[in-house]
Amino acid sequence: MFVHLSDWWVKSLVLIGIGLAADLASRRRFPLGAVLAGASYLVATVLANALKDVFDRPRPSLVDPNVHPLVHVPGTGAMPSGHAAGAFAAAVAVGLVHPRLRWPLIALAALIALSRVWLGVHYLSDVLVGAALGGAVALGLWKLTRAIIPERTSSP
């Protein structure tokens, strides 16, 4: 299960798709949940990748020979987790637009983040920093969106 939770399409397409489905179900004229989730996902992922170079933290299996990763180990640094950053960015973004989905989506994002630790490619602190980064990006973009187009950001 954790291998599939770690798949790229779960942390991106599934979460953004849930936002789009919620937008359509709420009959929004503009798919704010999906757009905010997509933008948050992209910004958080780019920032996480840039921060990997700053922290330059090696992956657990490169430091401890007792760690045997269950998936391919990326060649980038471990801190922060891009999976956690992207998943939490998209989940928090959709949750801000559609509050009834907030906790189920945060639970899904948490499972995605924890899958990276279980699979042996991240430390717990990597995913916690990634989750905080993703949540902060989503909240920042939400506030920016509300300042620019306040009439479209309130629930119908």
Q: What pLDDT does 156 receive? A: 43
> Shortest CA distance to 46 belongs to which of 6, 85, 4, 94?
85
Query: Which tokens sit at 113?
Result: 């983040």
Give the end-to-end CA distance of the chain in Å, rounded to a whole number: 36
Q: What pLDDT does 155 receive? A: 47
Give the type of residue at 43.
V
Torsion of CA 29, 149, 135, 12, to 10 degrees: 30
Query: Which tokens sit at 4?
Result: 């599939």
Q: What pLDDT does 137 receive? A: 98
Mean pLDDT in consecutive groups of 10 residues from the start of the chain, 156 residues: 66 87 87 94 96 92 82 86 95 96 95 91 95 98 88 49
Using an 8 Å Cβ cutoff, are 133 and 44 in contact? yes
Query: Which tokens sit at 126?
Result: 């990597």
Give the type of residue at 90.
A
